[in-house]
Structure 1
């Protein structure tokens, strides 16, 4: 039997899609228009010109440096998480030690501690280490705050791996390290992609830590730089939206190339 089309469901889905895409369309249109054209046409007017002066002005005012700093922080946070979280999750999933299980419970406490609660002692710690106003001083706490959740995600992905595969590797005489490298990492690539995208997104969109732990323009990131641009472009909406578009593009590209593995990791398919 042929399934009856869900007309109402399709209508509401299209309506919701329009609600989501309308702000994006308005932002893109405004970023490629001059201030005078945008003021005359309004935010919902049809596009009448295509200029890139807003993006050029953003780079001339140093926004390219802000994007580079945000990229370095995101890449550094992802590197730390990729080095620490996969072996940590593998040890939690495969170990039967009470110490490991207890340590995992203490690690999960980090899920209940927001950065806002510890930002003052974190500031004094980073300052005492001589890392204040440096990119490393932002990378380390950014990676630390995502480790509990990323470990939990990757543990779920590794638990989906069939136990018979572990037994087969053991019968072949494979060590724990070889099992981890040859079997676990390839089968958990969906969960790893999820961890990478989540960490990169969290680091790129981070605002509180860069705001508190940096002060000089040389280490300012895009999210903090947008606040500065908001003061300079308070009446130039197209110029401000062009800077917003520049902050969206990199993380959109990360999701675009990792979306399949990301969906597989979120649905639990990546470990099967």
Structure 2
């Protein structure tokens, strides 16, 4: 009796030699799709670069020119013979005193905001009390109230407290108007911390203070840096409160000092631009230090 060993038509005969592995076909690679250039985004970035670069070029270039060179060749011409005498004129006009006052006000406002906003945000996130949630909602209403609308009550309060014409008169209202945004950002950052970490520390016997200092504060560093930088920007560039709540020249901050400096020297635009450049350097340093944490701190909590 014979057995038919013929392979049907269309079938593929595979033979395996002893001691050799079976050859496997490699999967085909998908072709890599080339991304099309984003022309609209590139055009918008170029426009934004021009908007930012042109004022910076004007400020820095004008600060390195003499008054006669500025008036003869025009505002946007490059300096033919760069000079640094304008910066000496700025320091001789009391710029250093205004700078010290501005640093004291900014550091005090940042310290007060961080010291009050961090415990408040922790209470908002961890507490289940209706009183806390209601207070948080009322506090957020401060975001809709501009400082210009409350300047008269603030002035009356400062004069009743006998703080008029002091640096404290600038620090207290500046910190009060910065608190709502600071608590909002920090509470969003705290919501990113898993609840399991709180439960693990509670099981280990940690109290509320220990959980706050060993868990909450280290994990919210991006939010703290973000709040600190934006609070410092607002306090550093504040103009309304120093204008209304101070009178003597020894208590004035840098923005108000720049305004007086411009009026004092009239058409001496290069000296005024030198003062503007010196006032921008601390802000640039703060941005370079905390730029990595700015985006992560602002976007915290939006992924939940």
TM tier, shorter chain? over 0.9
> For 1:120-269, what aligned pairs fall within 5 Å after superposition?
120-268=152-300
Q: How does 1:57-96 map to 2 (within 5 A)?
A: 57-96=89-128
Structure 2: state its 5+ residue gaps. 1-31
Higher gyration radius (CA): 2
Give the structure 1 partner of residue 69 of structure 2. 37
1:76 is displaced (CA, Å) by 0.4
1:264 CA displacement: 1.5
Whether the aligned pair in 1 keeps the contact of 2:191 and 2:301 (CA below 8 Å) is no
In the alignment, the residues of structure 2 paired with residue 58 and residue 269 of structure 1 have an alpha-carbon distance, to the nearest angstrom, of: 45
Provide, for residues 84-108 of structure 1, a one-character-per-residue CA deviation record: whole Å limited to 9, x for no partner: 1101100110001111112112211
Q: Using the alignment, how far apart are the partners of 1:32 and 1:19 within structure 2?
A: 21
Q: Which residue of 2 aligns with 1:14?
A: 46
For the 8 Å contact 1:190–1:269, the answer to whether it is kept is no
Counterpart residue number, 2:87: 55
Q: CA deviation at 1:160?
A: 1.2
- Structure 1 position 36, deviation (Å): 1.1
Distance in 2 (CA, whole Å) between partners of 1:119 and 1:57 is 34
Given that 2:164 and 2:246 are in contact with CA atoms closer than 8 Å, whether structure 1 keeps it comes out as yes
Instruction: Name the stretch that deviates more: 208-217 or 163-172.
Output: 163-172
State which drifts further: 108-117 or 184-193.
108-117
Query: Which moved further from structure 2: 162-171 or 187-196?
Result: 162-171
Q: Which residue of 2 aligns with 1:98?
A: 130
Question: Relative to total residues, which structure has the larger helix share, 1 or 2?
Answer: 1
Q: Which runs of 4+ in 1 moved over 4 A?
A: 269-272
CA distance in 2 between counterparts of 1:236 and 1:142 reads 32
Gaps of 5+ in 1: none
Mapped to 2, the partners of 1:111 and 1:7 lie a distance apart of 37
Kindly report the root-mean-square deviation, in angstroms, between the aligned alpha carbons of the 2 structures. 1.8
Whether the 8 Å CA contact 2:67–2:270 is kept in 1: the answer is yes
Q: Deviations over 1:225-252 (max 9, x none)?
A: 1221121222111111111112211112
**TM-score, normalising length: structure 2:** 0.85
Cα deviation digits, residues 21-48 of structure 1 (max 9, x gap): 0110111010011111122221121221
Q: CA 1:8–1:159 in structure 2 vs 1: closer, same or farther (change >3 Å)?
A: closer
Once the 2 structures are TM-superposed, how far is the Cα of residue 208 of structure 1 from its aligned partner? 0.5
Q: CA deviation at 1:269?
A: 7.9
Q: Which residue of 2 aligns with 1:28?
A: 60
